[in-house]
Structure 1
Amino acid sequence: MNWTAKLIKHKGEDRIAVFFERDAELIARIKKLDGSLWSQTLKVWHLPDTYDYRKQFGIMSPEESVPSAEGIDGIAQFKRYMKSKRYSENTIKVYSEALKSFLVFYRTKPIREIDNDDVIRYNNDYILRKDLSASYQNQIVNAIKLFFLVIKDTKVDIERIHRPKRAKVLPNVLSKEEVKLILDAHSNIKHRMMLCMIYSCGLRCGELLALQPIHIDSKRNIVLLKNAKGKKDRIAPLSLKVLAMLRDYYTFYKPTTYLFEGHKPGKPYDARTLQQVLKLALEKTGITKPVTLHWLRHSYATHLLESGTDLRYIQELLGHNSSKTTEIYTHVSTKSIQQIKSPFDDL
């Protein structure tokens, strides 16, 4: 594109001036950019000085893609704090990357000078401008709130940092017939066993892969889930049919450390490979829905509810902190809805 850009001060505000030969098409394009204005005094189009616009117009120096030295130290301190609090490695990684994005955006501003208005500006000029999801924005908020709880002597009021309004999305649920087709699709006993365990116990993918043979209590017909999400232990009932399948599986594979191991003995099965196991099952059944492993957990909860299981027990089985999380399954259960007679039938 035949234009150049540079940083300017206009009416006391940091802006990006964009210079180009007079061209109707280019003028129409720059008018569509958020915050674009024409300066009659400077005779130039100018834009807000944002990270994205700096990147778009090529006026960002290489060092601007990383936080300041103070920001790098802050992230390192943040990681040490989370490790000492025994946050999971995944949470540490997610929060650190989220915080890095925020501190890159404010790399020229001392951390102690960052305030709540800066958080709002970041949400508007980075999160919303890039059309990033509400869940990603929520991760950013979690990281920022925790970071400024650790880093003292700042202008940020943690309690005033607002969260994005979440979309009320219903969980995806399969019918029992669809679940049976998926679970019966594989002849490979390990593949079939893993999918059966997820559905029959309502497990998350990570919970399944962390299982060890000692976590199967065949005397009490339960599965012990150690250090599940939120560092909580919980138990799940074990189907007698699944227990019989587990015995056959254990005899054949003889796992050492983990109940489901990959090619290397003593190492847990790979999560991405497990996703492929499900994908192959869907191909075999001809189900075209975008099913994920978590759909099996959602289906387990919904089918329990439809069979009359009390919502409080389902909350315990799924390991939810709040009953509000579990209550969402009442909106996808069709048992009561199917009993409602449509007035159309009386016409």
Structure 2
Amino acid sequence: MEFDKLPTLSYERKMHRASLKLFLYFEYNPDIKKIIKETFYAKYSKTHRAWYILEASEIVKTLQTKLKGVAIVSEVITKRGVLKKSSVTKGKIKNISAENRLVLKQFREYLQGKRYSESTVMTYLMLVAGLVEYHNKMDLTRLDLPKVQEYVEKVFAPYKYSINTHRQFISAMKQFHEFYGTQIDTTQLFMPKKTRYLPTVLSKEEVLDILTVTANLKHRTILALLYSCGLRISEVLNLHIRDIDIDRRQLVVRGGKGRKDRYVILAETMVPLLSNYKMTYQPNGYLIYGRNFSQYSPESIRAFLRKSCKKAKIKKRVTPHTLRHSYATHLLESGIDLRYIQELLGHAKPETTMIYTHVAKKDLLSIKSPLDIALKELATKMRGGGFLSNQ
């Protein structure tokens, strides 16, 4: 197939279900659909009328590699996340002037220079780009508080952006003001109160059920590491052979969230499992590797975890991070001091770890419900005849 006759797959980054996703737009093509579903475990959003995959490092480059000779992969940023089919076929892009595109490009470089993670850089860039497009015809140095408020009222509220996305937008605007020198009084920018969600937690029995039904050795090792060490998915993917110290039963997490290293205890039961895994797969470099010893895909982990939960007949919405939440909660229920749990999880603030006190059941189960107390007192009266003698 000639290059100029290949179909086009356009992508854009935007927040969806509390995390950054890569939305994919293309005219129906069975080959493209098969690749994005089997390789990237893409899901279809009826709301956005598009396929989407989880945003990750080098994901676009991987997408281009997998679709080479099948489709042309190009970026398309659309107004307020709405894209019509005609826009894709005509190759239209976001309605931003060349001058403002240069500003956004420089803003991205500015954020990268401040050493923000690529995920944070792209989130801030996309949020600011929405505002820039909305006020595209005006000089950006004239942006002020009323203009920002107008955008929030006309876009964020009607399209029901989450509170956390709204907070990210305010943080992004502060960075943009610092970079470009607008007329925005950043001290007056309203920051909504952060939404606090209680984490989903599995019981110990449910965790064991998931591990039991996971037959694949590599998959079982990954899930066991996530739970037994309380690791984030990125921390598991970045583990190298050198990070495992079997003799000392320790695992070192390098460059975790906030670019912090930390040591984590390696469970005794992980030692034979890891030995079996290393003997079978003989990793060289990354402990958990994908094709050609490259870094393993986070989408793959999420996919086989869903399958394991289905086999284990678990109805809760379980993600790899659920295993980390379960690890912390089970430690707390076992009587481990909150300060140690904070250290093991790599939390910068104790307030972050405190959320697990709301889901730990050890102390909660010691509290008697008024209904239980009332029924117990009633039963005592009836056995002693006191209740009946008053009738």
TM range (shorter): 0.7 to 0.9
Q: Cα distance, 1:243 vs. partner?
A: 2.1
C-alpha distance in 1, partners of 2:111/2:286? 27
1:187-336 superposed matches below 5 A: 187-265=215-293, 267-336=294-363
Retained in 2: the 8 A contact 1:149–1:158? no
2:113 counterpart of 1:84? yes
Decide whether the 8 Å contact of 2:288 with 2:295 is kept in 1: yes
Contact 2:164 2:195 survives alignment (8 Å): no
Number of residue pairs matched? 290
- Which one-letter code corresponds to 1:200 in the other structure? S
- Corresponding residue number in structure 1 for 2:22: none
Partner of 1:30: none
CA distance in structure 2 between the partners assigned to 1:223 and 1:116 by the alignment: 48
Q: CA deviation at 1:55?
A: 9.7
Matched, 1:72 2:106: no
Q: In 1, Cα distance between the equivalents of 2:359 and 2:327?
A: 12
Q: Does 1:178 align with 2:206?
A: yes
3-state DSSP of counterpart to 1:300: helix
Query: Is residue 71–residue 103 contact of structure 1 (8 Å, CA) maintained in 2?
Result: yes
Matched AA of 1:312: R
- TM (normalized to structure 2)? 0.70
Q: Distance in 1 between matches of 2:369 and 2:166?
A: 41
| 2:167 alignment partner, SS class | helix
Q: Determine the C-alpha separation between the residues in 2 that align with 1:150 and 1:202.
A: 37
Structure 2 residue 136 is the aligned partner of structure 1 residue 110: no
Instruction: Note if contact 1:186-1:281 (Cα within 8 Å) is conserved in structure 2.
Output: yes
Counterpart contact for 1:209–1:260, Cα < 8 Å:
yes
Q: Is residue 146 of structure 1 aligned with residue 156 of structure 2?
A: no
Give deviations 1:97-147, integer Å, cap 9, x for gaps.
222112111111211111122222222111111111112222222222112
Root-mean-square deviation (Å): 2.2
Letter in 2 for 1:101: G
Q: 1:341 to 1:81 in 2, by over 3 A?
A: same
Kindly provide the amino acid, as one letter, of the partner of residue 137 in structure 2: T
Q: Which residue of 1 aligns with 2:24?
A: none
Q: Distance in 2 between matches of 1:239 and 1:64?
A: 51
3-state SS of 1:144 partner: helix
**2:107 alignment partner AA:** F
For structure 1, the 5+ residue unaligned runs are 1-50, 57-61
CA distance in 1, matches of 2:342, 2:147: 38
**Alpha-carbon distance in 2 for matches of 1:102, 1:113:** 13
| Counterparts of 1:313 and 1:70, CA distance in 2 | 52
TM-score (structure 1 length as normaliser):
0.79
SS in 2 for 1:227: coil
The answer (yes or no) to whether the contact 1:99–1:143 under 8 Å persists in 2 is yes
Once the two structures are TM-superposed, the CA of residue 64 in structure 1 deviates from its matched residue by 8.8
What one-letter code is carried by the residue in structure 2 that aligns with 1:281? S
Q: Which residue of 2 aligns with 1:165?
A: 193
Q: Tell me the amino acid that sits aligned with residue 220 of structure 1.
A: R
What is the rounded CA distance, in whole Å, between the counterparts of 2:306 and 2:226 in structure 1? 15
Q: Secondary structure at the match of 1:207?
A: helix
Q: Distance in 2 between matches of 1:317 and 1:109?
A: 50
Partner residue of 1:31?
none
